[in-house]
Structure 1
Amino acid sequence: MAIPTTRTSENGHIQIDSLLCTGCGACVQVCQDGCIEIKYQLAQSAPNPLLGCVACGHCMAVCPHGAIVVSGRTIQRKDLIDFDGTIQQVDYNQLLALFQRRRSMRNFLEKEIDPQLTQQILNAASFAPMGVPPSDVGVVVWQGAKANAEFLADFVDLVQSQKWIFSRPMLPFLRPFIGMEDYKMLRNFVVPALHQIVKDAQKGKNILTYNAPLAMYFYGS
């Protein structure tokens, strides 16, 4: 499955309904790429924007009259969320406390995760910034002990099939291509970690996902 953001293979397209537009300029103020301009007291697509429309949807979101539709990505007007001021806002101290309570867990209960909770996590992740250049974000989800075991087995097979790349004689040849810092990280951390993952897996121990009841891998596509 994929969390839709912007397609890199196509630019965004802005459609402005001149009958609904009042020329208030709100869309021009939020567009950082100069894709919209006010001409003849109405908003219009600019002929030479800085980077081209990345379909962020801000202009569509702020238009008070619904005069703008952005296409070129999977965003739709129904995806926009109105904040009417009644929604409780989190202040700095509350947000900081949430960050400070974050922990990296490696011990898990043998308990299934409610699929509804999984979907809630994915829904929350879909609001993450899309970055530059815009791209789709894919996510692989594996849930339960069986999926964990299958993923670990596949990972070990992949490492074993490519182990010549991570061998000591081969590593120095990679240094000119990846730079000294990345070479040191590869030699001192990545390669030993891969070897330990394989070694422990052969003993029946999973130090890759630690048999977590739910694991997600997000990647740019």
Structure 2
Amino acid sequence: MSIPTSRTKESAVILIDEQLCIGCGLCVEVCKGFNLSLQKGKVISINSVYGCIACGHCMAICPKEAIKIDGRCLSSEDLFSLPQKTNSSAYEEVLNLFQRRRSIREFKAVPVEKEILEKVIEAAQTCPMGLPPSDVNLIVFNSPAKVRKFAEDFCDYLKGIKWLVSEWFLRLMRPFWGKANDELFKGFVRPTIDLYLDNMEKGINLVNYDAPAALYFYGSPYSDPADPIVAATYAMIAAESLGLGTCMLGAVHPLIQNGKAARKFRESYGIRYKSREGLFVIIGYPKVEYHNGIRRTFASIDVR
């Protein structure tokens, strides 16, 4: 039995070259799908509960390239040599990048070059996932005009569903979705929709701030809810490293998930699935420069 995703529902095939295999057992050690066994000094493929999910660990660790994986959107052609550790960023450099990052909503009227966007996407595709192959989907808005058009269409859509934050509907739903959701809708969702619509009427775009570019990451009914968030985070960090400003926008995604109007809106933009989680990352060259950082904390840290 294989684990289904939106891209494939079959197990991958494990191919082992007995002539190249030296029986080191490294592939057996890292295969947490339990698809490999070391017998008589050679590795063999065995049946497991899930079959090969094509994580690629065995291919990546084999010193003799004696294993090839074929299927679930993976092949030996996807294998590449890792960069040297000496070329990696040190902790201090990574921390400096994180500390310098601010959520930027003010951008220069300068387009983001195609090559830069491609680099951001390339980096985002290296992110870990709950289950391969990745079920993250991406829509790229590569110009201010496209970003603005999405915001305008989104606001037109919001006008038709504004009853969802009406007083009578919120009062009706409170017993079903509880105090926290009631407070969230009254304190955030309703005023946010009002801000979007009122300002768009004045020509002010608070949906995505007329950013030069935007990336929308979303999942599928099969994907781990964290996957689009992790991919968006990688994209944000990559963009920051390239001198761009970024901001994650989480308010759009949940408002286009449920109902006929939401489905129609998704279809108009080629959004393939409703999904539990999704994020926009807006990108551009910063118009402002911050001189100080803000120390953040978690709600709690328990050491056990």
1:203 alignment partner in structure 2: 202
Deviation at 1:204, TM superposition (A): 0.5
- Cα 1:162–1:86 change in 2 (3 A) is closer
TM-score (norm 2): 0.64
1:147 alignment partner AA: K
Deviation at 1:107, TM superposition (A): 0.5
The answer as to 2:197 corresponding to 1:187 is no
2:39 alignment partner in structure 1: 39
- Distance in 1, matches of 2:33 and 2:180, equals 35
- Distance in 2, matches of 1:84 and 1:134, equals 23
1:22 alignment partner in structure 2: 22
Note the alpha carbon deviations across 1:36-90, whole angstroms, 9 max, x for none: 22123221223234x5432111111111222212233323333333136364122
Contact 1:6 1:55 in 2 (8 A): no
2:66 alignment partner in structure 1: 67
2:82 alignment partner in structure 1: 83
**171-180 or 150-159, which deviates more:** 171-180
1:10 alignment partner in structure 2: 10
Contact 2:136 2:217 in 1 (8 A): yes
- Distance in 1, matches of 2:186 and 2:53, equals 39
**96-105 or 78-87, which deviates more:** 78-87
Note the alpha carbon deviations across 1:180-219, whole angstroms, 9 max, x for none: 4334323321222122111111110001111110111111
- Cα 1:17–1:133 change in 2 (3 A) is closer
**82-91 or 64-73, which deviates more:** 82-91
- Cα 1:203–1:33 change in 2 (3 A) is same
- Distance in 2, matches of 1:76 and 1:177, equals 48
2:62 alignment partner AA: C
Contact 1:8 1:135 in 2 (8 A): no
Percent identity for Structure 1 against Structure 2: 38
2:239 alignment partner in structure 1: none
- Cα 1:176–1:139 change in 2 (3 A) is farther
**187-196 or 95-104, which deviates more:** 187-196
Deviation at 1:132, TM superposition (A): 4.3
Deviation at 1:98, TM superposition (A): 1.1
Note the alpha carbon deviations across 1:135-189, whole angstroms, 9 max, x for none: 4211111122211221012111221222222222112444455444334323321
**73-82 or 170-179, which deviates more:** 170-179
Structure 2 residues without counterparts, runs of 5 or longer: 221-304
2:213 alignment partner AA: L
Contact 2:30 2:58 in 1 (8 A): yes
- Cα 1:184–1:70 change in 2 (3 A) is farther
Q: CA RMSD in A?
A: 2.4
What's the secondary structure of 1:169's corresponding residue? Answer: helix
Structure 1 residues without counterparts, runs of 5 or longer: none
1:214 alignment partner in structure 2: 213
Q: How does 1:123-134 map to 2 (within 5 A)?
A: 123-132=122-131
2:119 alignment partner in structure 1: 120
Equivalences, count:
216
Contact 1:7 1:72 in 2 (8 A): no
